Amino acid sequence: MDQAPGIALQLLQSILVVSAAPLVLGWVNMCRAWLQNRSAPSIRLPYYTLVKLFHKDAVIASTTSPIFRVTPYVLFGCMWLAAGIVPVLATDLPFAPAADIIALVGLFATARVFAALAAMDTGTSFGGLGARREMLVGFLAEPAMLMTLFTAAFISGSTQLTTIVESLAHREFAIYPSLAFAAVAFLMVLLAENARIPVDNPATHLELTMLHEAMILEYSARHLALVEWAAAIKLVVYMTIGFALFAPWGIAEAGDWGAMPLALAALAGKLALAGAGLALIETFLAKMRLFLVSEFLSGAFLLAVLGMLTHFLVRG
């Protein structure tokens, strides 16, 4: 059982991401509050919220079908799985070959489709509206994400995230213009996919603007808790994907247990930086009109494709 350490690591890593996700969310909220000159809530506030929600009675809309009740679990499960695939701490992940970057994108797509279906399941005006808007964001964000990942895949010649990370981390330092394009595109996708300003505002329930929140209006208690938690995991997973592609330094190699503390520290540092950056972006930008979102994301898609083309053009 030479794979046993790998399996253990994989479990450990996914549990780490899942459990730390609300913390990252709390950190982002804290930073934002600081930047906006408000007094910051506790960094543990997301945990309190989850605990509170888990103890409430669930209210289920009478109009819904089983899809509505299954969806939170599916969302949570998908995100958990994603957390297991991305090399957060180390590249030695025995299950990673089961799903490469394309499957990862597919996993996010599955989660999105279920979320949208659940929203439509309620048969309310806001549910449909949210689902429609979410899919409108998704149909551009998803290919942009895929193209970003492809840029990295072309550079490293593989669609395995672990291989990509190993290849990117161990190449002698070189500036990849294509990766620069990809990074910008990825950032835009990250904002859109995680319902962040300027695409969406996670802090509002204003019917004219809300996207993600409109979808989960009918959820309560444990369902809501799972949905929110899944959203937090998603944010962390996206961040770690970003680290893997654009800042793969510090991720431990296969079997190198000694590098683990360093990897952990590097991860913490990167997450802290990224959270702060996110808060900065959210502070400086304003939310866009809905139809500007499609332009914003078309831009992301275009940049990602351009990045891919640049790879070929620059190479030869």
**In the complex with another protein, which residue's Cβ is closer, 77 or 250?**
77
The set of residues, in sequence order, having a beta carbon less than 8 Å from that of 310 and lying 6+ positions away, is 177, 178, 181
- 285 membership: H or E segment, kind and range: none
Question: Which window, 242-250, 265-273, 280-288, 307-315, contacts another protein (CB under 8 A)?
Answer: 307-315
- Contact at 8 Å (CB) between 276 and 117? no
Quick one: which of 128, 250, 277, 299 contacts another protein (CB under 8 A)?
A: 128
Quick one: which of 32, 112, 212, 234 contacts another protein (CB under 8 A)?
A: 112
**In the complex with another protein, which residue's Cβ is closer, 200 or 282?**
200
The set of residues, in sequence order, having a beta carbon less than 8 Å from that of 305 and lying 6+ positions away, is 147
**In the complex with another protein, which residue's Cβ is closer, 30 or 303?**
303
Q: Rule CB under 8 A: which of 138-177 touch another protein?
A: 138-143, 146-147, 150, 153-154, 157-160, 163
Quick one: which of 93, 99, 187, 263 contacts another protein (CB under 8 A)?
A: 99
100 binds another protein (CB under 8 A): yes
Helix axes 221-246, 101-121, angle to 10 degrees: 160
Token code pair at residue 196: 């962040």
Phi-psi region of 157 (alpha: psi -120 to 50; beta: other; left: phi over 0): left
In the complex, minimum distance from the CB of residue 250 to another protein, in angstroms, rounded to a whole number: 22
Collapse the DSSP code of 135 into the 3-class scheme (helix H, G, I; strand E, B; otherwise coil) and give the result.
helix
Helix axes 66-85, 4-35, angle to 10 degrees: 110
Q: Rule CB under 8 A: which of 217-246 touch another protein?
A: 217-218, 222, 226
Question: Which window, 26-34, 180-188, 257-265, 302-310, contacts another protein (CB under 8 A)?
Answer: 302-310
Quick one: which of 28, 129, 195, 231 contacts another protein (CB under 8 A)?
A: 129
In the complex, minimum distance from the CB of residue 95 to another protein, in angstroms, rounded to a whole number: 7
**In the complex with another protein, which residue's Cβ is closer, 265 or 313?**
313
In the complex, minimum distance from the CB of residue 90 to another protein, in angstroms, rounded to a whole number: 17
Strand partners, 252: 90
Q: Rule CB under 8 A: which of 255-294 touch another protein?
A: 291, 294
**In the complex with another protein, which residue's Cβ is closer, 121 or 282?**
121
In the complex, minimum distance from the CB of residue 89 to another protein, in angstroms, rounded to a whole number: 19
Interatomic CA distance for residues 84 and 231, integer angstroms: 16
- Report how far Cα 267 is from the mean position of its chain's Cα atoms: 15
In the complex, minimum distance from the CB of residue 153 to another protein, in angstroms, rounded to a whole number: 6
Place of tokens 């990252």: 24
The set of residues, in sequence order, having a beta carbon less than 8 Å from that of 264 and lying 6+ positions away, is 89
109 binds another protein (CB under 8 A): yes
211 secondary structure, DSSP code: S
